[in-house]
């Protein structure tokens, strides 16, 4: 069994790369490289890129990149029957990958050795004067309007018609472990899971992959981290001013705790801004939760009817 340390990138097919670039620039990503057939965009962290768009008649998520801690992990992964073998990556920063074909048909790229680059300058986290704890004295809060500064790719959420099969595969092939599990009626009737990476010894995101039972197998959403709640609200304001289509938010989730808002890109893919998410230690015992109307949000607007199957949204 291999173990990954974090999510690296998402790769999409787009019929219109120019519209995709316009949307994701307003969303807060920064252009890294553009050709007639490929769009690479980065976040503010040192990672070379976190978003890949390919010119294609088949739109939607095509691959998820995951970070491996060493070449040895790739050598082990290359032994799986569904593995491509170790391949050199033809993209800025180079590196190596093993492409795994998941049972649902989605490709997972285990990557190692992609050259890092200098992080982009970003606004420091706000100093907050809480009711009983003050940290800001003689300083004013004056955040600037504009696109959100996306710090990093945080997670991808997937829908599947065979939850148990894909849940087992993510654990056996990527070393993922559940932080929280959703069930319906009986604990053995599992219908959702939030899985964290176990390849690092430090604290990790509550989930880098989320998986939910559904009537179709496809991506639900992918999510990008912002600095703080002001960045969330100002990014939301900017997206509205640019005329993009929102689905839900701003609010705070229950499992994972992150503050969220969700947007449709020009070809109907659902993407999320988030901030203030939970951290867990690798291998932490999973929480078990009966699914209910309050499973998704602690506060915020009512859950849209199309949130569970956003691909059925009519623009």
In whole angstroms, give the CA distance from residue 78 to residue 74: 6
DSSP 156-193: EEEEES-HHHHHHHHHHHH--EEEEEEESSSTTSEEEE
pLDDT by position in tens, the chain (length 315): 679 999 999 999 999 999 999 999 999 999 999 999 999 999 999 999 999 999 999 999 999 999 999 999 999 999 999 999 999 999 999 999 999 999 999 999 999 999 999 999 999 999 999 999 999 999 999 988 999 999 999 999 999 999 999 999 999 999 999 999 999 999 999 999 999 999 987 899 999 999 999 999 999 999 999 999 999 999 999 999 999 999 999 999 999 999 999 999 999 999 999 999 999 999 899 999 999 988 999 999 999 999 989 988 875
Position 315 scores a pLDDT of 57
φ, ψ for residue 84 (rounded to 5)?
Answer: -85, -20
Contact between residue 299 and residue 251 where contact means Cβ atoms under 8 Å apart: yes
Position 47 scores a pLDDT of 96
Look at the block and give the residue holding tokens 């200098």. 118
In whole angstroms, give the CA distance from residue 6 to residue 52: 17
What six digits make up the tokens of 148?
A: 């959100």
In whole angstroms, give the CA distance from residue 304 to residue 248: 7
In whole angstroms, give the CA distance from residue 28 to residue 98: 29
Position 255 scores a pLDDT of 97
Could you give the residue ranges of the DSSP H alpha helices within 88-162? none
Enumerate residues 6+ apart whose C-beta is below 8 A from 131.
none
Beta strand segments in the chain, E: 4-14, 30-34, 38-42, 51-55, 60-68, 83-88, 96-101, 107-112, 152-160, 177-183, 190-196, 204-205, 209-213, 218-225, 245-253, 259-264, 270-275, 279-280, 287-290, 297-299
Q: How many CB atoms lie within 10 A of CB 81?
A: 6
Burial class (CB in 10 A: 0-12, 13-18, 19+), 236: middle
In whole angstroms, give the CA distance from residue 103 to residue 174: 13
In whole angstroms, give the CA distance from residue 169 to residue 178: 13
Burial class (CB in 10 A: 0-12, 13-18, 19+), 12: buried
Contact between residue 38 and residue 92 where contact means Cβ atoms under 8 Å apart: no
Look at the block and give the residue holding tokens 């839900």. 248
């Amino acid at each position: 069994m291999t173990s990954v340390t974090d999510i690296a990138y998402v790769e999409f097919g787009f019929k219109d790369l120019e519209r995709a670039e316009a949307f994701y620039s307003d969303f807060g990503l920064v252009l890294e490289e553009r050709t007639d057939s490929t769009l690479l965009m980065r976040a503010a962290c040192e990672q070379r890129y976190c978003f890949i768009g390919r010119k294609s008649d088949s739109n939607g998520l095509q691959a998820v990149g995951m970070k491996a801690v060493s070449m040895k992990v790739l050598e082990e992964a290359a032994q799986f029957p569904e593995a491509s073998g170790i391949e050199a990556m033809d993209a800025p920063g180079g590196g190596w990958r093993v492409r795994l074909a998941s049972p649902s048909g989605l490709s997972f790229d285990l990557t190692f050795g992609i050259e890092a680059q200098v992080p982009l300058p970003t606004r420091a986290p706000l100093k907050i004067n809480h009711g009983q704890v003050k940290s800001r004295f003689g300083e004013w809060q004056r955040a600037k309007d504009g696109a959100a500064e996306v710090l990093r790719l945080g997670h991808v959420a997937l829908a599947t018609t065979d939850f148990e099969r894909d849940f087992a595969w993510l654990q056996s092939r990527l070393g993922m472990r559940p932080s929280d599990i959703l069930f319906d009626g009986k604990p053995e009737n599992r219908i959702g899971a939030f899985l964290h990476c176990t390849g690092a010894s430090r604290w990790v995101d509550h989930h880098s992959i989320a998986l939910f039972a559904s009537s179709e197998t496809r991506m639900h959403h992918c999510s990008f981290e912002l600095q703080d709640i002001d960045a969330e609200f100002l990014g939301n304001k900017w997206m509205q001013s640019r005329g993009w289509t929102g689905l839900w938010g701003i609010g705070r989730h229950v499992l994972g705790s992150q503050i969220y808002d969700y947007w449709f890109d020009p070809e109907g893919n659902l993407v999320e801004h988030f901030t203030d998410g939970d951290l867990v230690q690798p291998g932490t015992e999973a929480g078990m939760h009966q699914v209910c109307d309050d499973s998704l949000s602690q506060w915020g607007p009512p859950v849209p009817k199309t949130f569970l199957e956003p691909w059925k949204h009519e623009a």
